[in-house]
Structure 1
Amino acid sequence: MGMRWRKLIGTVAMLLFIITYALFAMALAEGRITEAPKLIQTLAYIVLGLIWIVPLMPLVRWMAKPDKS
């Protein structure tokens, strides 16, 4: 598979994942986190804001892999 196709497929997969994750994070933040102390809320928002990167790193590596020549 060429790099152009990998980038197209990866971009669509990323968009779908981020939309799904954003909905999950919003539901979680509105439900449980609002009852927690301010320090826990802050830490939770930081973690929720950054954790989406971890599952997407293998996809980014796959997208950036050079073509076989």
Structure 2
Amino acid sequence: MPVRLKKFIGAILLIILVVVYASLATAYATLHLADASGWVHLVYFLVTGFLWVVPAMLLIRWMEAKPKKG
């Protein structure tokens, strides 16, 4: 796969990942944590704020991988 195409696809997937992940994390918090204390909200959003980095990191690693010869 050409490098430019790979990076374009990766960028689109990264945008989709962030939008979907943020929407789901916020929807869950709205539905299940409405009556929770501020500390629970803080911990939840800290954890979910960093958790999206794992799939994004894997996606970026895929985008930056050198093409295989052969």
| TM-score, with length taken from structure 2 | 0.83
Q: Which amino acid aligns with 1:13?
A: L
SS at match of 1:62: helix
Q: Report how many residues are paired.
A: 69
* 4+ runs deviating over 3 angstroms: none
RMSD over aligned Cα, in angstroms? 1.5
**Equivalent residue for 2:33?**
33
For structure 1, the residue ranges without an aligned partner over 5 or more in a row are none
1:1-69 aligned within 5 A: 1-68=1-68
SS at match of 1:35: coil
Deviations 1:15-40 (A, max 9, x none): 11111111101101211122222211
